Amino acid sequence: MSNNTQTARIFIQDPIHANALGDIYICEDSAQIAKNGHLFILVNLTKPQNDYEQFVGAFIEKCVNTYYYCVLEDTTKILEFTLNEINKWLPANLPANKKILSHLNIVIGNLKDNLINISLVGDWHSYLIHPLKANRLEKDKAVLNPIKLFNEIHQIQFTQNCSFIITNPSLLDYLSLDKVRKIVSTIPARSAAEQLRSMVTAVPTSVSFLSLILKSQDNSKTIEKIVHPDELPIHKPTIVPRTGFGASTASSRESLDQLISTQKQTQKIMTVPSSWQTLVSTWNNIKESLKGSKILPLIFRGITKLFVWLWLLLKLIARGLLFILVRIKRTIVSIIKPDHSGPQTRNRISFSWLTNINKNKLILGTIGLLILVLVIVLVWSNTSVPQLSGEELASINAEFTAKEEAIEAALIYGDRIRAQNLLEETITLLATLPVDKKNPDQYTGLQQRTNFLTERIWNIMTITEPVELFSLGNEIAGNFVNLTAKDDLVYAFTDQNQYLIYNFSDKGYQIVDYPSNFAGVQLSTLAPDNSILVIDHEKKFFIADDAGLQPNLISLSAGLQSITATSTFFNRLYILDGQTDQIYRHSMDNGVFRTPDLWLKDNIDLGNASDIAIDGFVYLLNGNEIIKLTNGRRQTFASIDLYPILNQPQKLYTNADLENIYLLESANNRIIILDKEGKLIKQYRSDEFTDLQDFAIQEEAKRIFIITNNKLYVIPI
């Protein structure tokens, strides 16, 4: 494979839940590539049996050995020879299952000298991708021939600045082809693979993803390659000694340092010249091109005459203005002093020279004035609407590519802080560039690449179309305000006269009226006995079910001022009061809440507190921070490092059965997942998440129920 071709793979297959078994082989041995080209193999077997895994390993080994021990030179002939040998080998080595042929999905291909040869068995989608379009290469699923399984080779010309992707159908089941095209054509292959991988991580674990990306780019725009650990061979014939790996890592860091050291020089190249510099450069180029030519003296004489006439024209304009000013002055004096006859003598302004200007001179002067106005307009336009030349765009693209590679290297080394700093530099660089109206597509492409990097570093998953379960309309009035889920039943409470019970298993729902003595829902939560506990604005407690709200007695503390939030842990109910900076703990006995204890011992200002969650530790959401408590006293908890930064999240949730802490933030339309040390795991955002109200987490079922002011959604996790 040529040095300027990038490769990347996407392989996501849960060994327990996926109903498939597969592997991807990409040769990276430079000696083998130089001899016979670059070999790649994708294998995916559906409905796997016990002996399928052994078959996959043996199949790949047979392909590799046959291909690279072939003495032919033409890569198409080498692949034909390999496929013929595989067709002979398969009957004796296929698993015994009679339906194995219907379970086979295999790709064998090679790439050398910009020619891709590929043979397919089963269901695959392959596309040749250009910046503005993606062409499907095979129209139908390959027809199986039991006698000769691999019986056709497709040839593809792999030109510069294009990309190639082959994938099983799952990727395009969850992502649009247009989105895949934009990602693959815009950013480096490894970055594109990581971006696509992150976009499908929320898909159920039963789904498998196998994809290969090949990306070609112009040699003039390539930069020094950084050695990545994922570029090492997937199937290595020998074990690499530990010292060899250390040398590779040192080489990688040295390449990264060299890459970063070119930043200042690249920045100089990227600097957009001013309008004056552009005019000077253009004039110098014209002089060089006309040097030695007889036309140059004529041009200078013409320009000299032009400036003479321009000077005469300016004198004419100046004298005309002077004449007008004198007239205005005399008029003003006559108004102020009507009896004043003015001076007996006055300076006479002579315009006799005007009579000496013939018609030709007047026309030439007018033309000169128009040329002067045109020059001024062009200079102003060039100043107000800056544009980038092709060389400048190439330099900017190289700078962005360098930063993308450096960010990938930092992420591979586990240096997320370094990656974040590089991202800030990239965002700053983009902010300093002019909005180039001449090349809007290139400028938009840079913005898209920056957005991809941001999502990659900060683990942002954008959900374009979350699954909508229910929308408020004619059946229910008002807005959703609270949400609690128990198993497959989702209770969504409104601020009017009814609440919704949605059954996720059968997609049915029930609408229940509030009782007449209910003062409007303030909070809802799961009670210690796993019932749905609802609190109204008068601090009255109710149990919700499909029959309505049933009153529930509780002895509240006399010092309780407000119920800011509630949570339960075992047989205890915790009530957070932000006005008194206190947490009241109620024990439950035979379904009745007893008189509370004052649980919080430390003096903590909870004026900005909005929620509470308990997993043994007590977590308080207080403005933009999480406070961790045990035995009523504050514990250390890391500050939350996010992009975008936290902006007054409303809800917090965790419990003893959950691995993570979840935050709901309406300001940025997102749900944030942190581990219990406060480190970022993932962010889910969607433009549909406007006016977020509440959520319910079911980690074991891998789903989150969400309500906005008028819709109920579910997203996978």
Q: Are residues 494 and 600 in the same domain?
A: yes
> So what's the pLDDT on residue 658?
93
Q: Are residues 364 and 495 in the same domain?
A: no
| Residue finishing a domain among 462, 477, 501 | 462
Q: Helix (H, G, I), strand (E, B), or coil: what is residue 229?
A: helix
Q: Which residue has the tokens 């083998």?
A: 32
- The percent of residues in the chain predicted with pLDDT above 90, rounded, is 39
| Weakest-pLDDT range from 69-83, 322-336, 352-366, 593-607 | 352-366
Residue 235 lies in a domain: no
Total domain count, the chain: 4
pLDDT band at 491; cut points 50, 70, 90: very high
Phi, then psi, of 7 in degrees rounded to 5: -125, 150
| Residue finishing a domain among 384, 405, 424 | 384
Bridge partner residues of 629 (DSSP): 618, 634
Residue 237 lies in a domain: no
Residue 238 lies in a domain: no
> So what's the pLDDT on residue 5?
80
> So what's the pLDDT on residue 190?
87
> So what's the pLDDT on residue 288?
58
| Residue finishing a domain among 462, 495, 518 | 462
* Mean pLDDT calculated for residue range 354-382: 61
> So what's the pLDDT on residue 339?
57
If we measure between CA atoms, which residue out of 275, 274, 273, 272 comes closest to residue 375? 275
Q: Which residue has the higher pLDDT, 337 or 671?
A: 671
Bridge partner residues of 680 (DSSP): 674
pLDDT band at 282; cut points 50, 70, 90: low
Which domain CATH number covers 546?
A: 2.120.10.30
pLDDT band at 289; cut points 50, 70, 90: low
Question: What digits encode the pLDDT tens for the residues 609-627?
Answer: 999 999 999 999 999 999 9
> So what's the pLDDT on residue 306?
75
Residue 340 lies in a domain: no
If we measure between CA atoms, which residue out of 42, 41, 40, 49 comes closest to residue 20? 49
Q: Are residues 118 and 169 in the same domain?
A: yes
* Mean pLDDT calculated for residue range 128-142: 78
Which domain CATH number covers 180?
A: 3.60.40.10
Q: Are residues 160 and 265 in the same domain?
A: no
Cα distances from 333 to residues 306, 343, 349, in angstroms, run 41, 11, 19
* Per-chain mean pLDDT for the chain: 80
Q: Helix (H, G, I), strand (E, B), or coil: what is residue 458?
A: coil
Residue 282 lies in a domain: no
Tell me which DSSP letter residue 98 carries: T
Q: Are residues 314 and 361 in the same domain?
A: yes
Residue 702 lies in a domain: yes
* Mean pLDDT calculated for residue range 15-30: 85
pLDDT at 484 over 90: yes
Q: Are residues 485 and 608 in the same domain?
A: yes
Question: What digits encode the pLDDT tens for the residues 150-167?
Answer: 888 888 888 877 899 999
Q: Domain range spanning residue 130?
A: 5-222
Question: What digits encode the pLDDT tens for the residues 222-238?
Answer: 333 333 333 333 333 33
Q: Are residues 498 and 587 in the same domain?
A: yes
Question: What digits encode the pLDDT tens for the residues 517-533?
Answer: 999 999 999 998 889 99
Sign of CA dihedral 540, 541, 543, 546: positive
Q: Helix (H, G, I), strand (E, B), or coil: what is residue 30?
A: helix
pLDDT at 290 over 80: no
| Weakest-pLDDT range from 25-39, 278-292, 662-676 | 278-292
> So what's the pLDDT on residue 203?
83
> So what's the pLDDT on residue 224?
34
Q: Are residues 452 and 366 in the same domain?
A: no
Highest-pLDDT range among 167-176, 431-440, 476-485? 476-485
Q: Are residues 431 and 488 in the same domain?
A: no
Q: Give the DSSP H or E segment for 336.
A: helix 295-336
Q: Which residue has the tokens 């965002």?
A: 427
Residue 241 lies in a domain: no
* Mean pLDDT calculated for residue range 14-30: 85
Q: Are residues 627 and 700 in the same domain?
A: yes
- The percent of residues in the chain predicted with pLDDT above 70, rounded, is 78
Q: Are residues 396 and 454 in the same domain?
A: yes
Highest-pLDDT range among 173-177, 438-442, 704-708? 704-708
pLDDT at 273 over 80: no
Peptide bond into 644 cis (omega under 30): yes
Question: What is the total residue count of the chain?
Answer: 717
Phi, then psi, of 253 in degrees rounded to 5: -65, -35
Q: Are residues 420 and 535 in the same domain?
A: no
Name every residue whose Cβ is closer than 8 Å to that of residue 136 and which is 6 or more positions away in sequence.
125, 126, 127
pLDDT band at 596; cut points 50, 70, 90: very high
Whole-structure pTM over 0.85, yes or no?
Answer: no
Residue 43 lies in a domain: yes
